[in-house]
Amino acid sequence: MKSYKGMLAKRLRLVLAGCAMALTAVTSAAAAWPERPVTVVVPFAAGGGTDATARILASLLQRELGQPFNVVNRPGGNGLVGHTAVAQAEPNGYTIGIATTELGSYKPMGLADLTPTASYTPIALYNFDPAAVHVPAESKFKDLPSLLQALKSGERVRISTGGPLGGSWHSAFSLLLLKQGINPATVAFVPSNGAAPGLQEMISGGVDATASSLPEAKPLVDAGKVRSLAVVGLQRLTTFPNVPTTKEAVGTEVTGGAWRAIMAPKGTPNDVRDRLVGAVEKIVATEEFKKFMNDRGFGISWAKGRDLDTFLAENEKSLGDTLKAVGLAK
Amino acid sequence: MFFDVLSRITDPTTLIAIAASAVFGVFMGAVPGLTATMATALLVPITFFLPPIPAIATMVTATAIAIFAGDIPGCLLRMPGTPASAAYTDETYQMTRRGEAELALGASLMSSAFGGLFGTAVLIAGAPILAEFATRFSSVEYFWLVVLGLTCTVGIGSADPIKGIIALSFGLLVSMVGLNNPAGTPRFTFGQTALFDGVSLIPMMVGMFALSEILRFAASGTRSLDKVATPSGSILRGVGAMFLKYPVQILRGSMLGTLIGALPGAGADIAAWMSYGISRRYSREQEKFGTGHVEGVLEAGASNNSALAGAWVPALVFGIPGDSITAIVIGVLFMKNLNPGPQLFTSDPVSIYSIFALFVIANIIMIPLGLLAIRLFSRLMRVPRQVIMPCILIFCIVGSYAVNNSLFDVGLMLGFGVLAFVLEESGFPGSPAILGVILGSMLENYFVTTMISSGGDLTALVSRPIAATLAIIVVLIWSVPLLLRLSTRPKPINSAGH
């Protein structure tokens, strides 16, 4: 019994010492961040696109700031688990995370009270990939107007969403339909486990069109199996100069797609945030980062501070509106 | 060109990459809870700093070897390393209990190497044609393929088919948990965010196989090992005899594995289960299955490794991943400017043939390395069980945690372990439940996707030629034995009269 008490006292001391250390860590965080390794939470599994961008960013941040940046994957619930982990972490700069488009869908769909604008200290946007519309090479739809015309006339066109319903590509395409005066709730959207399975379903004849990013369809376009009709954005992509924008194709100015940003927990000290923003800004401008993003087919998009706040707010609103229009919002 | 390929793969960087990733692959496969997919994912940051061929070499070598090495803990400790090896874990474990651990592992090593080489040969000779065929499969064809998979595997793992079907249904029920259903609505999650992605397969598998075995050991009160694994002379000679006895099974497993692997919506897991099921169904010694019979191990072992090579077919030709491993590899291919597509075969033949050569090398060095690993790990069996069981428990916990960095999964592992122990004590087999989880969500997704596409028209299930063919096969498999039994019914009565 005595030895048990002794152990308890010893443990208590340890815990207290730990608390004291944690406290000093918090107070000194502002002074000379980062003084110890930083955890970068990725809300998707290792090996995916989000994970790959996080790992290159982490290795460059490590070089820039002199402390290890450890990538930790917290997949689950279409990204909800990892996004929640960052939002609930201690706001001391030692836990940051990657946030993705999915973050905007949790609240409208009634899954969690988590939003890009209210739940975090946004650091920087580093990637945006606009959605595009693809059809099989032999499809009767030669361009975007003919596809939209068919949808307007009430013809049953099956469209793969290249991911879950309510995901980036589904939302972006629905936004285009809304602006064209077509009710997206009447369209036969078919969900899939990602862009590649969606495109596979299309070339096998299971659906008539697929929404996904342009690079995701590139191997099949090169193989002569798929044609990309238009990209849902304001400018053509330099890597796909032959694919018209929705503005050129049907005269609708609309942007929609998938984004990735670095976020810190809400309440992260301003000077930590500023150091992090500065470091990421330097990294995004390096040849190394540009080459990586370009080779993987990811578009670099940069926003910080007020621009980022505006970007996140606009995305949150349009995603919310779209989810309501397709009937997925609670 | 031959010399170009040779100089690329004998480049020192490539050779070092192969050797290092081979050892890494053994480690990732043999440590329960760590998988071949994880091995690939962990290699991605390293490939940032490697030239293209060595980068691909690390992935090809590590995965081929990890899939085999995954059989090691399955066989020795009843702790399958990958969902693909879960199909024959019980079979090899029974062999281990008879003291034939080295023979069981030798069988799975050599059939893995054979399957891998077979798949590679198909990849070299027929990738574009096979990929073209694979693109004809839409969700309705996959639906029938999954039904076919269930049909082949009904009855495995249990002497009592009814109890097997109940266990399978339990697995199908578990597969419904989460929001990864076509509607994207949380189901049976009880408000737990951790359950949104469904019940994590690896922790469930580790619990149902390994933890239940630990519990059984603790409950039985025996303190000694069933039988010490005696080194049974030359492993190769023993396995050679098996190859001569079961050539048809090994070839059938390799062919089915390559084909299923090349279909992007299926993969190595189904391939192994289907092969094991087919092996049992058409075996002349059906009653020996489940008691430590090597026939099914050979067929399914060949099947899952050939599926690994088969998965590269759609990945290289169309950039469509055949499984979770090639999904990661495609990203690396893009990064190294080896963009997948038919033009890769014509525009850069040296690179593509170097990749093929890597497959051959990986599957060949698997043999000596595997034999070494078998000798090493078999020593585990001489460690007293009361020492090794707590160590397995630690591995169960660490492995379950490592999958998603989640304590919740550790809880799942413990829960399913206790459940499996109770079920197995009452005669319900565990493996059909695992199969149910693997196939359940696919079955639902493909069925609902088909129904959404067709607007709820059930005739869509048989309106395409391949789908209709698969449907007929399924109906025949179910109905022929029934019809035969009906037409031969008078006979047993007569013979009973004698």
CATH number of the structural domain spanning residue A264: 3.40.190.150
**Same domain for A194 and A222:** yes
In the stretch 292-331 of chain B, residues with CB closer than 8 A to chain A read: 314, 317-321, 324, 327-328, 331
CB–CB of A111 and B197 under 8 A? no
**Same domain for A65 and A83:** yes
The two tokens of residue B160 are: 């009592």
Closest residue in A to B37 (Cα–Cα):
A47
Closest residue in A to B328 (Cα–Cα):
A47
A28 part of a folded domain: no
Gap between the Cα atoms of B245 and B255, Å rounded: 18
- What confidence score (pLDDT) does residue A107 get? 92
- What confidence score (pLDDT) does residue B384 get? 81
CB–CB of B193 and A48 under 8 A? no
Chain A residue numbers touching B343 (CB-CB < 8 A): 222-223
**Same domain for A275 and A195:** no
The two tokens of residue B206 are: 């580790």
Chain A residue numbers touching B331 (CB-CB < 8 A): 47-49, 52, 296
Which residue in B439, B451, B404 sits closest to B182, CA to CA?
Answer: B451
Minimum mean pLDDT range among A13-27, A46-60, B36-50, B129-143? A13-27
Chain B residue numbers touching A80 (CB-CB < 8 A): 193, 196
Chain A residue numbers touching B197 (CB-CB < 8 A): 75-78, 81
A330/chain B closest Cα distance in angstroms: 11
B101 part of a folded domain: yes
- Which among A51, A112, A295 is the nearest to B337, CB-wise? A295
Given pLDDT bands bounded at 50, 70 and 90, which one contains residue A46? confident
The total number of structural domains that make up chain A = 2
CB–CB of A47 and B37 under 8 A? yes
A26 part of a folded domain: no
- Which among A75, A80, A199 is the nearest to B404, CB-wise? A75
Q: Give just the sign of the alpha carbon dihedral A268, A286, A41, B185.
A: positive
Q: Which residue type occupies A307?
A: D
CB–CB of B44 and A188 under 8 A? no
- Indicate the residue among A232, A250, A268 that finishes a domain: A250
Q: What percent of chain A has pLDDT over 90?
A: 67
Q: Give just the sign of the alpha carbon dihedral A210, A215, A216, A218.
A: positive
Chain A residue numbers touching B455 (CB-CB < 8 A): 156, 188
Provide the 10 A C-beta neighbour count for residue B42.
15
B384 part of a folded domain: yes
**Same domain for A196 and A147:** yes
- Indicate the residue among A250, A275, A297 that finishes a domain: A250
Chain B residue numbers touching A76 (CB-CB < 8 A): 193-194, 196-197, 404, 406
Gap between the Cα atoms of A258 and A233, Å rounded: 12
- Going by C-beta distance under 8 Å and a sequence separation of 6 or more, which residues neighbour residue B64? B25, B112, B116, B305, B308, B359, B362, B363, B366
A135 part of a folded domain: yes
Look-up: residue for tokens 């969900």? Answer: A191
Q: What string of pLDDT tens digits covers the 498 residues of chain B?
A: 788 888 888 889 999 999 999 999 998 888 777 788 888 888 888 888 899 999 999 999 999 999 888 888 888 888 887 778 888 988 999 888 888 888 899 999 999 999 999 999 999 998 888 988 988 899 999 999 999 888 887 767 666 788 888 999 999 999 999 877 777 788 898 888 788 888 988 899 889 998 998 998 888 876 555 555 555 567 778 888 888 899 999 999 999 999 999 998 777 888 999 999 899 888 888 888 888 899 999 999 999 899 989 999 999 988 888 888 888 898 888 888 888 888 888 888 888 899 999 999 999 999 999 999 888 888 877 788 788 888 889 988 988 888 778 899 999 999 999 999 999 899 888 888 988 998 898 899 899 999 999 988 999 999 999 999 999 999 998 888 788 888 876 554 444 444
What is the count of residue pairs from A and B with beta carbons less than 8 Å apart?
162
B497 part of a folded domain: no
**Same domain for A138 and A117:** no
- Which among B138, B265, B404 is the nearest to A76, CB-wise? B404
The total number of structural domains that make up chain B = 1
Q: What is the ipTM of this complex?
A: 0.84
Q: Is B40 on the interface with A (CB under 8 A)?
A: yes
B252 part of a folded domain: yes
**Same domain for A220 and A302:** no
Chain B residue numbers touching A158 (CB-CB < 8 A): 452-453
Chain A residue numbers touching B37 (CB-CB < 8 A): 47
**Same domain for A77 and A185:** no
A309 part of a folded domain: yes
Chain A residue numbers touching B141 (CB-CB < 8 A): 204
CB–CB of A218 and B341 under 8 A? yes
Gap between the Cα atoms of A66 and A215, Å rounded: 34
**Domain coverage including residue A210:** 130-250
**Same domain for A203 and A137:** yes
Chain B residue numbers touching A191 (CB-CB < 8 A): 182, 184, 449, 452
**Same domain for A283 and A244:** no
A195-234 tens-digit pLDDT: 888 999 999 999 999 999 998 898 899 889 999 999 998 8
Gap between the Cα atoms of B66 and B23, Å rounded: 9
Core vs surface per residue A272-296: b (16+ CB within 10 A) or e: bbebbbebbeebbeeeebeebbbbb
CB–CB of B342 and A205 under 8 A? no
- What confidence score (pLDDT) does residue B349 get? 86
Q: Which residues pair with A227 in a beta bridge?
A: A135
Closest residue in B to A41 (Cα–Cα):
B405
- What confidence score (pLDDT) does residue B141 get? 93
B80 within 8 A of B57, measured Cβ to Cβ: no
- What confidence score (pLDDT) does residue B201 get? 87
A17 part of a folded domain: no
- Indicate the residue among A250, A276, A292 that finishes a domain: A250
CB-side neighbour CA atoms (13 Å) of B265: 31
B498 part of a folded domain: no
Closest residue in B to A54 (Cα–Cα):
B45
Q: What pTM, to 2 d.p., does this model score?
A: 0.85
Gap between the Cα atoms of B483 and B220, Å rounded: 45
A152-192 tens-digit pLDDT: 999 999 999 998 888 889 999 999 999 999 999 899 999 98
Q: Is B337 on the interface with A (CB under 8 A)?
A: yes
B318/chain A closest Cα distance in angstroms: 5
A34/chain B closest Cα distance in angstroms: 23
* pLDDT value at A27 more than 50: no
**Same domain for A144 and A283:** no
A306/chain B closest Cα distance in angstroms: 32
* pLDDT value at A316 more than 60: yes
A138 part of a folded domain: yes
* pLDDT value at A2 more than 80: no
Given pLDDT bands bounded at 50, 70 and 90, which one contains residue A24? very low
**Domain coverage including residue B150:** 2-487
3-state secondary structure A58-116: HHHHHHHHCCCEEEEECCCHHHHHHHHHHHCCCCCCCEEEEEEHHHHHCCCCCCCCCCC
**Same domain for A144 and A246:** yes
**Same domain for A59 and A124:** yes
Indicate the pairing of strand A226-231 with strand A300-304: unpaired
Q: Is B194 on the interface with A (CB under 8 A)?
A: yes
A257/chain B closest Cα distance in angstroms: 19
Which site among A295, A323, A326 would you substitute to test the B interface, given the most B Cβ atoms closer than 10 Å to its Cβ? Answer: A295
A232/chain B closest Cα distance in angstroms: 23
B172 part of a folded domain: yes
Strand ranges, E, within chain A: 38-42, 69-73, 95-100, 120-136, 158-160, 188-190, 209-213, 226-231, 257-265, 300-304
